[in-house]
Amino acid sequence: MSQTPTEGRTHAPLLIMGSPRSGTTFLSQMVNRFLDIHICRDNGTLLRFHRNLAHYQPLSDDANLRRLIAHLFADRYFTERLRHRGMSLSEEELFARVPRRTYGGVIEAVFSATAATHGKSNWGYKRASFARVTGHQIDDLFPSARFVHCIRDARDVVLSMRTSTDLLLERSWHFGAVDWVSHLTTGRQLGARLGPSRYMEVRYEQFMATPAKVLTDIIDFTGGDAGAERLDRISSEIGALLKADNTEKWRKKVPPDAIRTIERVAGALLADLGYPVINPGVVGQPVGLGEHLALHADRIASNLFRTQFGVMARYRWEVVKGHARARLGRR
């Protein structure tokens, strides 16, 4: 694979986050297509292992690090989401590649190996949120990473949740809005802690309007240099990859009552982000007990026939096995 003069330059790792259906997948795909970065996705497997890390400490002990790597390789989702998608190292090769005896070093070894398989010099990671990874843990796991938070209008996000075939998404108008507020709040709290040198917000609507500029901004943010050839390619190709009229769909496709429901929950944050709120009178209205019960009934009805319980059960079983391996030291 030929390289332009700017390829091969080390960028800071790029972490993309945002609420489900906010455009993080599409942004990751465009980064993978046009930049010298490969964004990895693992359905949270590596963060799940981090919650059991106490059972593998200290990683400075060769035996502990080898046991952690062996348990990663025994995990179904590590195999499906990482090994089958480019992490081609053996257990021994991964052990030798770990640059620091920390869990962040293990993550770097896994993702950098995957990026190399895809012909990229730099790695990244996409997660909907880092709600369960807070405080000093971020620096332990991703000490030099830059975080890009993709933000999209809550009404379009909830509409997309309702129509998506993805698993484990909220389907009701009310709880979809609750989910959006939770993800946005967590992400912005993380951003406040990281500061502008490590945290950047990208509006989905802005990305749809000026995609080449947003990608160039991301390159600058991670410390890279796009180069004229890459910029020309982005400008000439990316327009054909965008979905036409994929913003403000809620104005035509979300019923008025549903707009009020979403704005009741998310209106304050929408306004804070600069989005128009068309029902300001309902923003923040409390939910009574009877209405609360009705909303939960709607939630159950909205999700019941779209949830693939077999997939959920397999995931939960893998979590249970992972806990058992960590505690008992077995493979």
SS3 annotation, the chain: CCCCCCCCCCCCCEEEECCCCCCHHHHHHHHHHHCCEEEECCCCHHHHHHCCHHHHCCCCCHHHHHHHHHHHHHCHHHHHHCHHHCCCCCHHHHHHHCCCCCHHHHHHHHHHHHHHHCCCCEEEEECCCCCCCCCHHHHHHCCCCEEEEEECCHHHHHHHHHHCCCCCCCCCHHHHHHHHHHHHHHHHHHHHHHCCCCEEEEEHHHHHHCHHHHHHHHHHHCCCCCCHHHHHHHHHHHHHHCCCCCCCCHHHHCCHHHHHHHHHHHHHHHHHCCCCCCCHHHCCCCCCHHHHHHHHHHHHHHHHCCCCHHHHHHHHHHHHHHHHHHHHCCC
pLDDT beyond 50 at 7: no
- Among 34-48, 225-239, 261-275, name the one with the lowest average pLDDT: 225-239
Q: What is the pLDDT of residue 168?
A: 66
In a domain, 1, yes or no: no
- Among 21-25, 142-146, 281-285, 311-315, name the one with the lowest average pLDDT: 311-315
In a domain, 152, yes or no: yes
pLDDT band at 1 (very low <50, low <70, confident <90, very high): very low
pLDDT beyond 60 at 5: no
Q: What is the pLDDT of residue 4?
A: 37
The residue range of the domain holding 148 is 14-328
pLDDT beyond 70 at 224: yes
In a domain, 7, yes or no: no
pLDDT beyond 50 at 259: yes
* Measured distance CA(202)–CA(150) in Å, rounded: 5
- Among 9-23, 235-249, 302-316, name the one with the lowest average pLDDT: 302-316
In a domain, 2, yes or no: no
In a domain, 109, yes or no: yes
How does pLDDT run across 111-120, given as a tens digit for each residue? Answer: 999 999 999 9
* Measured distance CA(304)–CA(302) in Å, rounded: 6
Mean of the per-residue pLDDT values of the chain: 89
In a domain, 178, yes or no: yes
Average pLDDT over residues 262-266: 97
Q: What is the pLDDT of residue 10?
A: 59
CATH number of the domain encompassing residue 186 = 3.40.50.300
> How many domains does the chain divide into?
1
- C-alpha distance across the termini of the chain, in Å: 38
pLDDT band at 330 (very low <50, low <70, confident <90, very high): low
In a domain, 131, yes or no: yes
- Among 127-136, 188-197, 229-238, 287-296, name the one with the lowest average pLDDT: 127-136
pLDDT band at 8 (very low <50, low <70, confident <90, very high): very low
Distance of CA 290 to the CA centre of its chain: 35
Please return the burial class of 63, using the count of CB atoms within 10 Å of its CB with bins 0-12, 13-18 and 19+. exposed
CB atoms inside a 10 Å sphere around CB 10? 12
